[in-house]
Chains A and B, each alone.
Chain A
């Protein structure tokens, strides 16, 4: 099955700085890599995803990059704001039915 590892587990940045969270996966057949954001006490929500036919995808201040050869993908948040503070989870499909396996999460804190 898929093994998804995520680093770092915690990350603190100053407001306005950039934040980068990295994930590796083990199943070379994986072709879809979403990122979910979970604010304190709330449900996880999809913020961006990338499919294996592209190497990078951007949506305003967030971007995801994918390196299929190395089997890793990263979330980049630029010009961080206090409302970016949350736990971020990466995920990749696994199993014969391609259900999502999540990373262990990164607690991002943006300091004012």
Chain B
């Protein structure tokens, strides 16, 4: 595709429900990131995938959060038993290769609202 695609663009859920967010990176990009951005706040690192290496999960805030990536393509971020504090925009970004410090291309994000 022409850019990083995220779906859904908006998700409203009830507290305690599970949600799954999807990211389609740019074709050929080996590095993929998930960030969380609360209203008016900065970009909080969640998880990072690079090729076939083990992902860096150091930013995941709790064991309710998990993410997977199939090869060098689609990634899904799953939040189990959602809480109101999970409400935020979840941004996905991809780059050709983090080892050579490449430009990040961001998706338009998923706005998650937990009622």
B interface, size bucket? 20 to 34
Interface stretch of the complex, out of A12-20, A41-49, A59-67: A41-49
Distance in Å from the Cβ of A45 to the closest Cβ of chain B? 7
A-B CB contacts (within 8 Å), total count: 61
Query: In whole Å, how far is A6's beta carbon from the nearest beta carbon of chain B?
Result: 8
Residue-wise, chain B 85-115 has the 8 Å CB interface mask toward A (1 for contact) of 0000001000000110101101111000000
Q: Is the CB of B104 within 8 A of A105?
A: no
Residues in B lying within 8 Å of A, measured CB to CB: 31, 33, 35, 41-43, 45, 48, 50, 53, 56, 58, 91, 98-99, 101, 103-104, 106-109
Interface contacts beyond A99-B33, A101-B45: sample of 11 additional A-B pairs, CB < 8 Å, sorted by A: A32-B101, A36-B104, A42-B108, A46-B104, A49-B101, A89-B42, A97-B99, A98-B101, A99-B98, A104-B41, A105-B41
